[in-house]
Structure 1
């Protein structure tokens, strides 16, 4: 069912963009979630409400996992689950930036089978279905063919360069660049605009599920920081970081990471 799920996700993402863009950055009401969980705006909640209503009506037998919905163990009993971030990059949205995204995915028994990342302010719609390739605005995309890590541009936040993350505290040489939305970073690597991305802190499933499939369908490798394939719909929906790139750059990054560096914020 990946193909029909993808059509459903595309339609839902476009409608999410219509809703979110009615709000104007800093004018959208914003508040902080409890326990330092980050900001949320009225746009996040409006988009989430529409997605939950429409997607669950279309697929009532699918489970539901979203950043803006209280989690329920019911999803653990479902073979297929929606994994949703209504707005990835809420801080950027609230500041009036154009680099926030809607991130929508369907998983089946832990594997992503359909995915969309949509940036309405940039008119960029990345999409993929299992074994059908990845596209940007309907055209096929592929990861970079870069081989040498020293020549690579890697999307990463600055704390990822903490020497404690790396074997013998030797940070590999590459050019670090940054974009605020984690989903957008993954999409940019799938597009070949950048050679790889990494985030070494524990990562919420809704931030990375869509990007995982889009990257892999674009010919890249996407794993946790230890090189394990990403699996979704876990009881605690957080994964051990993300390393994503073409095969050569991915191996060069992953093999230099210190597996004992788990827990250092990055």
Structure 2
């Protein structure tokens, strides 16, 4: 089943990417969402509509969770759920940059079992299914080994605030940034960077697909406290993010100044943690 779902979502994401490209660097409307939720464009909504039409027609019993859709109450009890970010990196899209992505995952029992991160402007598709290797344009990808001192880390400037680090000592790392959070995870998965982290809450649609790709490539993926990620939660928001190869992930957990993990609680329609 994960392999069949992966084929479906890869095809859907790549077709939807063509819709995004038809708007990109053209004239389109964009505006700010309510309550500081960030920008949205005509392209986001068009891509979301195309994905919903294709995926729900193919899997009508699956639930639906998308950044650009109203809440679907059926997702709480659905055996499988599509988790969608129609355009991850909307600000980059508006600016004409090529780092945006279409991210689609299938989540079962709180964990992603198929995921695709497609970058239409770059002609790149990252993909993985549970139990299968992660790929970039069909080629296997793996993270690279690194130590914390000198590591190349994708994160925001805010994450390097000394308040987040034990002893108020920020490690000597080289910070970079990419506009799409899903892309950041994939860059770590393919060994272009050593780690990515967020001390801020992260939305499930930003990381569901890419977290599976990173795990299947060989990374450890947790929240900022070292707890496993869970998906299809209410609300769909996680407590930060740390993605790195196992050794570096261990070093990051040891260096960050956060409380120890609490025992994970399992709930209906969601994963523990």
TM-score (norm 2): 0.93
Alignment-derived partner of residue 85 in structure 2: 85
Find the aligned partners of 1:132 and 1:2 in 2 and give their Cα distance: 9
**Contact 1:134–1:217 (Cα < 8 Å) also in 2:** yes
Alpha-carbon shift at residue 71 of structure 1 (Å): 1.2
Q: How does 1:63-212 map to 2 (within 5 A)?
A: 63-146=63-146, 148-212=147-211
Q: Which stretch shifts more, 135-144 or 248-257?
A: 248-257
In structure 2, distance between residues paired with 1:111 and 1:81: 10
- Aligned residue for 2:235, secondary structure, equals coil
- Structure 1 Cα separation of the partners of residues 26 and 187 of structure 2: 26
CA contact 1:73–1:235 (8 Å) conserved in 2: no
Q: Within 1, Cα distance between the matches of 2:255 and 2:123?
A: 36
Structure 1 residues 102-160: Cα deviation after superposition (integer angstroms, max 9, x where no partner): 010000000100000011111110000001110000000001122x2113100001100
Give the secondary structure class of the aligned counterpart of 1:116.
Answer: strand
- Counterpart secondary structure, 1:255: helix
Match of 1:213 in 2: 212
Matched positions, count: 260
CA deviations 1:73-103 (Å, max 9, x no partner) are 3211111100000000000000000000001
CA distance in 2, matches of 1:26, 1:152: 38
TM-score with structure 1 length normalisation? 0.96
Runs of 4+ in 1 over 6 A off after TM superposition: none
Give RMSD over aligned pairs.
Answer: 1.2
In structure 1, runs of 5+ residues without a counterpart are 262-266
Q: Distance in 2 between matches of 1:180 and 1:162?
A: 20
For residues 29-83 of structure 1, the C-alpha deviation after alignment (integer angstroms, 9 at most, x for no partner) is 1011111110000000000001111101101111000000011332111111000
d(CA) in 2 for partners of 1:114, 1:174: 32
Cα distance in 1 for residues equivalent to 2:87 and 2:230: 22
Q: Conserved in 1, the CA contact under 8 Å of 2:44 and 2:68? A: yes
CA shift at 1:24, angstroms?
2.9
Stretch moving more, 20-29 or 79-88: 20-29
CA distance in 2, matches of 1:89, 1:211: 14
Contact 2:83 2:105 survives alignment (8 Å): yes
Q: Secondary structure at the match of 2:43?
A: helix
Match of 1:253 in 2: 252
